[in-house]
Amino acid sequence: MKIPMKYKLLFVVGLMSTSTTYAQNFGPQSPPVGSVITSVNVNAINQFNTNTTSGGSFNWQDANISLNNRYQIDANSSIGLSLRDGYQNWSWSNISGYGTQTPWKGIQSPGIGLSYFQKLDADWTAGFAPIVDWVAENGVGTAGAATYGAIGSAAKRYSNDLTIGLGTGVFRQVDKTKVFPFLLINWKINEKWTLNNPLPAGPSGGAGLELSYALANKWKIAGGAAYRSYRFRLSNSNYTPNGIGQNSFIPVFTRLSYAIDRGTSADLYLAANVGGKLSVTDVNGATPYSTNYQTGLALAFSVTTRF
């Protein structure tokens, strides 16, 4: 599963994604039986040049596309199938503490997921979503690059305006098992304010929290935070061949959104990635490179359409 170099900064072709947050699947009303809801999401992200505490700096760009299909089996249950693909391009400058080498360059991340949601009664709904991603540096095949696991969740609808629940993701990230508990919430505080989950829970972390405010003329403004951590297999040609890279950080963001039409929206994000850490682990379990990094500013643009 090698991605040609010419696709480094292009949106790669993908099919179905779990872009819809878990809170949205616990709504008070189900779609018509037999209906299919499809959504397509395209994202572009740029983290600007960021200094590491060990010396040197880096920046990265991410392009990804996803599409999600959800089928309403009956009044109480639905299933979903998702595929997605993405690519990160990393650039480094004057790196210290790693033999003046670059820890990694490009990271590919195709993935597939399933989901099942079941209403247990009038108020409670449970969900289960197994996911497999292949996250690796360019030149690595699928062997040894899989991140796999599942998300389990349950939520209670207290009213048409408030749903609260808990979820847990358990994933094997290449060679290490990680557990991500998270809060599920969809709370329409009033006509203007809403508190919910801004991001889908997945192998890299939980769903986070976001407070949004509805402006006039289809505009919204929001702010929130989440935790993200992912591991990926390094190539045999890397300075640490067949090792494992990791990036962990907390994006604290503001979002400006515009509803283009009933099914399409565009989002502009400005984020501060705080608490960041990068590391490389070799095949023997040693860590030849590990560094924290300063707060990194990032800009992202996202378009989602549903039909």
Residues 256 and 221 sit within 8 Å (Cβ to Cβ): yes
Tens digits of pLDDT across the chain (307 residues): 443 433 333 333 222 333 344 444 655 567 899 999 999 999 999 999 999 999 999 999 999 999 999 999 999 999 999 999 999 999 999 999 898 889 999 999 999 999 999 999 999 999 999 999 999 999 898 888 999 999 999 999 999 999 999 999 999 999 999 999 999 999 999 999 999 999 888 999 999 999 999 998 899 999 999 999 999 999 999 999 999 999 999 999 999 999 999 999 999 999 999 999 999 999 999 999 999 999 999 999 999 999 8
User: What's 240's domain CATH number?
Assistant: 2.40.160
Q: What is the pLDDT of residue 28?
A: 59
**pLDDT tens figures, 158-182:** 999 999 999 999 999 999 999 999 9
Q: What is the pLDDT of residue 142?
A: 80
- The total of structural domains in the chain comes to 1
Residue 73, domain extent: 5-306
Q: What is the pLDDT of residue 48?
A: 98
Residues 26 and 121 sit within 8 Å (Cβ to Cβ): no
Q: What is the pLDDT of residue 25?
A: 61
Residues 172 and 140 sit within 8 Å (Cβ to Cβ): no
Three-class DSSP labels, 43-112: EEEEEEEEEECCCCEEEEEEEEEEEEEEEEEECCEEEEEEEEEEEEEEEEECCCCCCCCCCCCEEECCEE
